[in-house]
Amino acid sequence: MDPGSNPDAPNPNQDPAPSAADAAPQPSDAGIEAIARRVQESLSLSGVSRHRFWETQPVGQFRDLGDTSLPEGPIEAPTPLSDVRRDPYNLPAQYEWTTCDIDDDHTCTEVYNLLTQNYVEDDENMFRFNYSMEFLRWALRPPGYFKSWHIGVRAKASQKLVAFITGVPARIRVRDDVVKWRRSTFLCVHKKLRSKRLAPVMIKEVTRRVHLENIWQASYTAGVVIPTPISTCRYWHRSLNPKKLIDVGFSRLGARMTMSRTVKLYKLPESTVTKGFRKMELRDVPAVTRLLKEYLRQFAVAPDFDQDDVEHWLLPLENVVDSYLVESPETHEITDFCSFYTLPSSILNNPNYSLLKAAYSYYNVSTKTPLQQLMNDALIVAKKNDYDVFNALDVMQNESFLKELKFGPGDGHLHYYLYNYRIRKALHPSELGLVLL
């Protein structure tokens, strides 16, 4: 997978959770994580394989691991803006650059079609990520975004969109240092053009355009190991509709389990249990911002959200992002918060189902309500809204509720990277307060 891709697996190859040793459904081997494993094997650090492109970039290098003499912080100083290249990098002769206007329905549809047909698919052709147009517009148009960072490649002859890469602006705090960053996402090249080595040119081009805005750092994730992860996390998966997941091959029955016992194992209450638990509203933005900023201070790497960011990223948007909070019935204080975003997958070649509806844990803050109880309420509302599975990374404090709430671990990993910023020692997932789409 390319840097900036979203390698979370819609078909996890997971072991049963220890709390349900023989009860958890067993997934099939087909899955996106299998792709990640194969690519990781091809990029093995042992042997002759080299990361030719990344060894030329200002990123942490494998050869520097364990070198405590290297300072944390920017690897290269900013270049004077007058020295930043003004002309785009050269593409192969039959291709040309295009700026993709996500506000335009025709262009947004082109991007949607490219991603749904070429971005991430399991190796058995059973599932394919299906980013909605509403999701793409949400993900690519945060406060202060630049249209020029939504970059496409077209075939000159047909004008077909054949590749796409984006950046969106963000402020990220690394320890005590708040820096303007580019968050890289959606690096996608048409399947038939993977041998053209378009990806390195696209990365250089988006970096050039970002530098023109005097921004010199970036963050991204990938399902493969390249120089050099600042943290390696794991996705966990909680069945909400186990019968459907088993029917479509997402998972399989556990040892000595029947379908009825499996359905019973994952059954959730009909209603949430926390008093004052409700959907977030526009009037809650200031309180949620304060709650989130205070919570995120404890992590080594985290976003620096202001009210505009919270309104954009966390105010509920149908079929894109859901956010809930706890308001004290007595004091009306906002004490707790949870959220998840929606990323479905198309189910391919199945006569009964066409879509797998997946929720992904986003940002959660617990001050008065136990986090396990808060997240159980999140599972309940996701189930009531017809989600089939709820996924969560083991970042922040998520590890404290995963096993208890019957999440099962996936066997693929998500690697976090920083561009032009060195962290001397890799972070444990619990030190990471950042969720990248």
DSSP for 74-116? -SSPPPPGGGS--SPPPPPTTEEEEE--TTSHHHHHHHHHHHH
Strand partners, 419: 218
Angle formed at CA 129 by CA 125 and CA 130, multiple of 5 degrees:
120
Closest CA to 337 of 393, 394, 396, 378: 378
| Length of the chain as a residue count | 437
Q: 102-107, long-range: CB within 8 Å, 24+ apart, which pairs?
A: 102/136, 102/137, 102/140, 102/141, 102/147, 102/150, 103/137, 103/141, 105/133
φ, ψ of residue 419 in degrees (nearest 5):
-105, 130
Q: Determine which one of 161, 198, 268, 437 is catalytic.
A: 437
Distance, in Å, from the CA atom of 429 to the CA atom of 208, rounded to the nearest integer, reads: 31
Q: Cα–Cα distances in Å, from 324 out to 78, 92, 277, 284, 315?
A: 41, 48, 7, 10, 9
3-state secondary structure of 390: strand
Rounded Cα gap, residues 128 and 121, in angstroms: 4
What are the residues facing 171 on neighbouring strands? Answer: 180
Report which DSSP code applies to 28: P
CB atoms within 10 A of CB 414: 25
Distance of alpha carbon 158 from alpha carbon 27, whole angstroms? 41
Collapsing DSSP to helix, strand or coil, 63 comes out as helix
Triad 163, 345, 227: Cα angle to 5°:
50
Residue matched to tokens 């990471």: 432
437 is catalytic: yes
**Could you tell me the two tokens for 411?**
């066997």
* Catalytic residue IDs: 437
